[in-house]
């Protein structure tokens, strides 16, 4: 096995590096679960939603969601 790797380093790198990358990405993907608390709700629903042309401003103040409809008056 060692002689095969010494004689064919390109094949060894071609097979080894993707496997190492897969392991690294799997380890990195687990970091957020260790550092961030899981969400309190699965889905956030919006009711009585109106499609204003200027948009909607959504912000979180004191751990509460505040939605401001930005509407222009006029023509």
| Rounded Cα distance, 60 and 75, in Å | 32
Q: Are 61 and 50 in contact (CB under 8 A)?
A: no
| Rounded Cα distance, 37 and 10, in Å | 43
- Provide, rounded to the nearest whole percent, the portion of the chain with pLDDT above 90: 19
Write down the domain spans for the chain: 2-69
Average pLDDT over residues 6-32: 91
pLDDT level of residue 12 (50, 70, 90 thresholds): confident
| Rounded Cα distance, 44 and 32, in Å | 21
In the prediction, which pLDDT does 64 show? 84
Comparison of pLDDT for 20 and 33, the residue scoring more: 20
In the prediction, which pLDDT does 22 show? 96
């Amino acid at each position: 096995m060692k002689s095969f790797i010494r004689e064919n380093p390109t094949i060894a790198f071609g097979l080894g590096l993707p496997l190492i990358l897969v392991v690294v990405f799997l380890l990195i993907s687990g970091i957020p679960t260790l550092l961030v608390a899981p969400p309190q709700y699965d889905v956030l629903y919006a009711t009585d939603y109106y499609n204003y042309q200027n948009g909607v401003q959504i912000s979180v103040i004191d751990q509460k969601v505040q939605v401001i409809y930005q509407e222009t008056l006029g023509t």
